[in-house]
Amino acid sequence: MRRIAFLLVVILCSPLLTVGQQEEQAKLAGFFGNSSADEQAWEQKFQAIPSPDNMIADMKLLAARPHHVGSPYDEKNSEWLLAQYKKWGWDAHIETFQVLFPTPKLRVLEMVAPTRFVAQLREPPVPGDPTSSQQSEQLPTYNAYSPDGDVTAPLVYANYGVPEDYDQLARMGISVKGAIVITRYGHSWRGIKPKLAYEHGAIGCLIYSDPRDDGYYEGDVFPKGPWRPSQGVQRGSVVKMELYPGDPLTPGVGADAHAKRLPIKEAKTIEDIPVMPISYGDALPLLKALGGPVAPSDWRGALPITYHVGPGPAKVHLKLQFNWDLKPVRDVIAKLPGSTYADEWVIRGNHYDGWVNGAEDPIAGQVALLEEARSLGQLYQQGWRPKRTIIYCSWDGEEPGLLGSTEWVEEHGDELATHAVAYINSDTNGRGYLQAEGSHSLESLVNNVADEIQDPEKGISVGKRRQLAALARTESPEERQKLESQKNFILGDLGSGSDYSAFIDHAGIASIDYGFGGEAGGGIYHSIYDDFYWYSHFDDPTEAYGRTLSQTAGTTIMRLADSDVPPLDFTGLSDAVGRFVSELEKLDKSEINEIQWQNKEIQDGIFAASTDPTKKFVPPATEEVPSPLDFSPLDDAVKNLKQAAGHYQSAFDKVQEGTPASGASFQTVDQDLISTERALLYQEGLPGRPWYRHELVAPGIYTGYGVKTIPAVREAIEQKNWSQAADQITIVAGVLQKEADSINAAASALESAGQ
Ligand SMILES: [Zn+2]
């Protein structure tokens, strides 16, 4: 379900190595993600195997028919996937969970005043695109986990429906109480839109794709170009994933046959008001019929109208009913046993369920993962034995709410806590740039891999291309200099929106999310047009980047599986935490400044003087100015973390210099290293959402996909809950201290193992 956001933040600067330096690097056998000569030979063999032709054939097959959760073709795909893994020598099985997955029974949207209009709510087949006409199998356009409802009310346009938009409506003196809100897609995870509409008193919510963001303003629409046509609709889940992903009825436990299930009414992640996605074709008559003030300039889209806010005179009737059934999700799980550390698991996953035919999302990622599995199986037959156990997962049920991966992680929580080394995810894939987000302890590993894999169209490494693209986007000499001086590119931080969530957020397993993209337009996301025809015309027709994803993710898996100790290091991590803390300090200052300035604007009559008296304007109320928070516990924790990272680095260097005896065992080091990500969990979880236990990253409570770093403190500041912010500073500082202890333990274990 991931929507790729290319944040090419900070990038690799890779100096050319002398021959001597190269030998020196080769000697770092298995550490920090570099490979010994033997491992390098296997990696090179591996990288030559993934075949674009196979990927094209697999995509044709897997995306041939609609394959959403519970559909016959989804089941057929699961059996086919299982057979492939078995054929390639993997020990594979299907693990099934029963999850709540509502599907539409009745959908009505009509305007009842000032004129009558009945929304089409249907995506027409496109001539020439053979799978777009499989209507009897396509899921209708809807938002999964909207409640049933039957509401009629005046319409209000609320822009993207994010918190600032409601502040703006309040300034304009417009309330959405008792109204149906129409918002546009973008700027937040879609589930945030009905949640905020409800919190502000609305009784229904529509979400449409504006052509400004996703349609003809961006480029030619399908089938002439890749962009969203007038009746194209973005389906999608609105489950309150910011509380917990997975089956709404079984939070925290695997939804197996014995699981105790909540009554639907008690499931906290189902939305409160009926919500439905619509096309810009259906939205146009509704928006055109709105009166009231003209929308602020940054609220205006690309429809051929003057955008008004309402409320009314447009009045709409929205009626929705769903089948609230339990449906099976079938995860296909495949293992290659480890030869030395069989109890240490390196895990790789990508989902295979789609909203409809889902060629880009998710089959493009799935076929890359399959080619990795086939290639690793081939190496195994040739005698390669990974030191650690490798587990490949083809997830089902990602689209409705990360169901397959979350239930699997919850089901196997205890085993994963002991055995899991790392998790590597991918989802959509296409032509373009490397995107890599994840745990900063894996930053060196990712950089080393990205520096070796070649971009298929540019003749440079994918890491180098990422670096140069980021440099092209810099806006100041300082930014440029900073970027060029960095040894490694910095990984983006994980929010939510794909199957890594349970691994990192709930189980504390170091995780990476990979994908390529950024060149193709994205106008078919979650529509019937995301199919083989679209993908092979507009995205990655030769699967060159499918192969590149296979090489990147597969090489990462091989290094995690084969290195003497897991290739984690902590300089990137301690730098990241230092950055997060200084951002929090800045945020606290700027919140205080904002409040002081707003009070001044009110007291000095600045608001009053700068508004048009013929237009309604409601000034905000003055607020009490808080005292600055005390960040010293976090500052101290950062210092300790940096010291611990240095300790590990010097222990590592010593082991390298001493050239440990070939029989030296690093198993105790492994256990200490594995637990460093676990140490970032706080067992009681984040305030108000105990499922989320990682203290460095979580999806934002009001952004959804978007990440919040040190979320417990950051969100308390953003919500002006100063006492909670102070309490959470103490808690996070305690967790960071635990992390420093854990890194120090790994360093000491390495020192004694190396002697
Ligand atoms: Zn996806």
pLDDT tens for residues 322-380?
999 999 999 999 999 999 999 999 999 999 999 999 999 999 999 999 999 999 999 99
Q: Give me the CATH code for the 19-100+327-562 domain, please.
A: 3.40.630.10
Q: How many A from CA of 74 to the centre of ligand 1? A: 14
Q: How many A from CA of 426 to the centre of ligand 1? A: 8
Q: Are 316 and 111 in contact (CB under 8 A)?
A: yes
User: What's the CA gap between 266 and 212, in Å, rounded?
Assistant: 39
| For residues 4-16, average pLDDT | 33
User: What's the CA gap between 508 and 693, in Å, rounded?
Assistant: 8
pLDDT in tens, 555-602: 999 999 999 889 999 999 999 999 999 999 999 999 999 999 999 988
Q: How many A from CA of 129 to the centre of ligand 1? A: 22
pLDDT at residue 611 in the model: 83
pLDDT at residue 218 in the model: 94
Nearest to 523 by CA among 307, 174, 734, 227: 227
When comparing pLDDT for 682 and 14, which is higher?
Answer: 682
Q: How many A from CA of 272 to the centre of ligand 1? A: 25
In three-state secondary structure terms, 460 is coil
Q: How many A from CA of 498 to the centre of ligand 1? A: 6
Scored b (16 or more CB within 10 A) or e, 143-163 reads: bbbbbebebebbbbbbbbbbb
CA–CA–CA angle 712, 718, 722 (5° rounding): 75
**DSSP H helices in 604-721:** 606-609, 632-658, 667-678, 711-718
Q: How many A from CA of 285 to the centre of ligand 1? A: 31
pLDDT at residue 29 in the model: 43
pLDDT at residue 24 in the model: 39
User: What's the CA gap between 249 and 407, in Å, rounded?
Assistant: 11
Q: How confident is the model at residue 1 (pLDDT cuts 50, 70, 90)?
A: low
In three-state secondary structure terms, 518 is strand
User: What's the CA gap between 635 and 632, in Å, rounded?
Assistant: 5
Q: How many A from CA of 69 to the centre of ligand 1? A: 13
Sequence-separated (6 or more) residues with CB below 8 Å from residue 87: none
Is the pLDDT assigned to residue 32 strictly greater than 80?
Answer: no
Count other C-beta atoms under 10 Å from residue 207's C-beta.
27
In this structure, what token pair is assigned to residue 755? 């002697």
Looking at 232-241, 256-265, 635-644, 695-704, which range is the least confident one?
695-704
Q: How many A from CA of 461 to the centre of ligand 1? A: 26
When comparing pLDDT for 46 and 34, which is higher?
Answer: 46
Helical pair 571-603 and 443-450, crossing angle rounded to 10 deg? 110
Q: How many A from CA of 447 to the centre of ligand 1? A: 25
pLDDT in tens, 138-162: 999 999 999 999 999 999 999 999 9
Average pLDDT, the chain: 93
Q: How confident is the model at residue 522 (pLDDT cuts 50, 70, 90)?
A: confident
Nearest to 518 by CA among 476, 472, 451: 472
What's phi and psi for 306, nearest 5 deg?
A: -85, 120
Percent of the chain with pLDDT over 70: 94
Nearest to 192 by CA among 635, 701, 710: 701
| For residues 300-329, average pLDDT | 97
Q: How many A from CA of 259 to the centre of ligand 1? A: 26
| For residues 602-617, average pLDDT | 84
CB-based burial label for 683 (10 Å; 0-12, 13-18, 19+): exposed
Sequence-separated (6 or more) residues with CB below 8 Å from residue 53: 543
Is the four-CA dihedral 160, 164, 170, 172 of positive or negative sign?
negative
Is the pLDDT assigned to residue 16 strictly greater than 60?
Answer: no
Q: How confident is the model at residue 619 (pLDDT cuts 50, 70, 90)?
A: confident
CB-based burial label for 373 (10 Å; 0-12, 13-18, 19+): buried
Q: How many A from CA of 366 to the centre of ligand 1? A: 10
3-state helix, strand, coil in the chain (%, to 5): 40, 15, 40
In three-state secondary structure terms, 52 is helix
Q: Which element (helix H / strand E) includes 420?
A: strand 420-426
Is the pLDDT assigned to residue 111 strictly greater than 80?
Answer: yes
Is the pLDDT assigned to residue 13 strictly greater than 50?
Answer: no
User: What's the CA gap between 344 and 672, in Å, rounded?
Assistant: 12
Q: How many A from CA of 331 to the centre of ligand 1? A: 15
Q: How many A from CA of 351 to the centre of ligand 1? A: 7
Which residue matches tokens 């000032």? 114
CA–CA–CA angle 214, 308, 112 (5° rounding): 90
Q: How many A from CA of 682 to the centre of ligand 1? A: 29
pLDDT in tens, 537-558: 999 999 999 999 999 999 999 9
When comparing pLDDT for 292 and 620, which is higher?
Answer: 292
Q: How many A from CA of 67 to the centre of ligand 1? A: 13
Q: How many A from CA of 501 to the centre of ligand 1? A: 13
Q: How many A from CA of 463 to the centre of ligand 1? A: 24
What's phi and psi for 416, nearest 5 deg?
A: -65, -40
Q: Which CATH number fits domain 571-753: 1.20.930.40, 1.20.120.1780, 3.40.50.300, 3.50.50.60?
A: 1.20.930.40
pLDDT at residue 25 in the model: 42
Q: How many A from CA of 527 to the centre of ligand 1? A: 12
Q: How confident is the model at residue 22 (pLDDT cuts 50, 70, 90)?
A: very low
pLDDT at residue 755 in the model: 65
Is the pLDDT assigned to residue 17 strictly greater than 80?
Answer: no
pLDDT at residue 606 in the model: 85
What is the C-alpha R_g of the chain? Answer: 26
Q: How many A from CA of 353 to the centre of ligand 1? A: 8
Q: How many A from CA of 510 to the centre of ligand 1? A: 20
User: What's the CA gap between 179 and 133, in Å, rounded?
Assistant: 36
Count other C-beta atoms under 10 Å from residue 426's C-beta.
30
Q: How many A from CA of 222 to the centre of ligand 1? A: 21
Q: How many A from CA of 242 to the centre of ligand 1? A: 17
Count other C-beta atoms under 10 Å from residue 513's C-beta.
24
User: What's the CA gap between 421 and 54, in Å, rounded?
Assistant: 30
Q: How many A from CA of 262 to the centre of ligand 1? A: 27
Q: How many A from CA of 369 to the centre of ligand 1? A: 13
What is the biggest distance separating any 2 CA atoms in the chain, rounded to whole angstroms? Answer: 84
Q: Are 507 and 333 in contact (CB under 8 A)?
A: no
Is the pLDDT assigned to residue 170 strictly greater than 50?
Answer: yes
Q: How many A from CA of 424 to the centre of ligand 1? A: 15
Q: How many A from CA of 428 to the centre of ligand 1? A: 6
Q: How many A from CA of 398 to the centre of ligand 1? A: 7
Q: How many A from CA of 496 to the centre of ligand 1? A: 11
Task: Put residue 445 in one of left, alpha, beta given phi > 0 → left and psi -120 to 50 → alpha.
Answer: alpha
Percent of the chain with pLDDT over 90: 85
CATH architecture of the domain with residue range 103-324: 3-Layer(bba) Sandwich (3.50)
Q: How many A from CA of 63 to the centre of ligand 1? A: 13
Q: How many A from CA of 680 to the centre of ligand 1? A: 27
Q: How many A from CA of 543 to the centre of ligand 1? A: 18
Q: How many A from CA of 350 to the centre of ligand 1? A: 8
| Inter-residue long-range contacts of 612-618, CB under 8 Å, 24+ positions, other chains counted | 615/293, 616/172, 616/173, 616/293, 617/171, 617/172, 617/173, 618/170, 618/171, 618/172, 618/173
Q: How many A from CA of 526 to the centre of ligand 1? A: 9
Q: How many A from CA of 1 to the centre of ligand 1? A: 3
Strands 511-518 and 432-438: antiparallel
Q: How many A from CA of 631 to the centre of ligand 1? A: 39
User: What's the CA gap between 372 and 383, in Å, rounded?
Assistant: 17
pLDDT in tens, 399-445: 999 999 999 999 999 999 999 999 999 999 999 999 999 999 999 99
pLDDT at residue 753 in the model: 82
In this structure, what token pair is assigned to residue 129? 């695109």
pLDDT at residue 662 in the model: 53
Which residue matches tokens 């194209």? 232
Which 8-state DSSP code applies to residue 227?
B
pLDDT at residue 664 in the model: 59
Amino acid found at 322: F
Count other C-beta atoms under 10 Å from residue 677's C-beta.
28
Q: How many A from CA of 529 to the centre of ligand 1? A: 15
Q: How many A from CA of 90 to the centre of ligand 1? A: 24
Nearest to 348 by CA among 359, 337, 360, 334: 334
Q: How many A from CA of 579 to the centre of ligand 1? A: 30
User: What's the CA gap between 544 and 159, in Å, rounded?
Assistant: 38
Q: How many A from CA of 658 to the centre of ligand 1? A: 46
User: What's the CA gap between 23 and 248, in Å, rounded?
Assistant: 53
Nearest to 676 by CA among 733, 729, 752, 746: 746
Nearest to 77 by CA among 97, 96, 92, 62: 62
In three-state secondary structure terms, 200 is coil
User: What's the CA gap between 368 and 514, in Å, rounded?
Assistant: 11
Q: How many A from CA of 499 to the centre of ligand 1? A: 9
| For residues 176-200, average pLDDT | 96
Q: How many A from CA of 267 to the centre of ligand 1? A: 24
Q: How many A from CA of 645 to the centre of ligand 1? A: 35
Q: How many A from CA of 190 to the centre of ligand 1? A: 14
pLDDT at residue 461 in the model: 97
Count other C-beta atoms under 10 Å from residue 484's C-beta.
12
Q: How many A from CA of 723 to the centre of ligand 1? A: 38
Q: Which residue ranges make up each domain of the chain?
A: 19-100+327-562, 103-324, 571-753
pLDDT in tens, 463-490: 999 999 999 999 999 999 988 888 899 9
pLDDT in tens, 647-691: 999 998 888 777 655 555 677 888 999 999 999 999 999 999 999
Q: How many A from CA of 435 to the centre of ligand 1? A: 15
| For residues 41-47, average pLDDT | 97
Q: Are 434 and 516 in contact (CB under 8 A)?
A: yes
CB-based burial label for 439 (10 Å; 0-12, 13-18, 19+): buried
Q: How many A from CA of 361 to the centre of ligand 1? A: 5
User: What's the CA gap between 547 and 375, in Å, rounded?
Assistant: 11
Q: How many A from CA of 429 to the centre of ligand 1? A: 9
Nearest to 402 by CA among 438, 427, 420, 369: 427
Q: Are 429 and 364 in contact (CB under 8 A)?
A: yes
Is the pLDDT assigned to residue 187 strictly greater than 90?
Answer: yes
CA atoms within 13 A on the CB side of 517: 22
Q: Are 336 and 389 in contact (CB under 8 A)?
A: yes
Q: How many A from CA of 10 to the centre of ligand 1? A: 25
Q: How many A from CA of 497 to the centre of ligand 1? A: 8
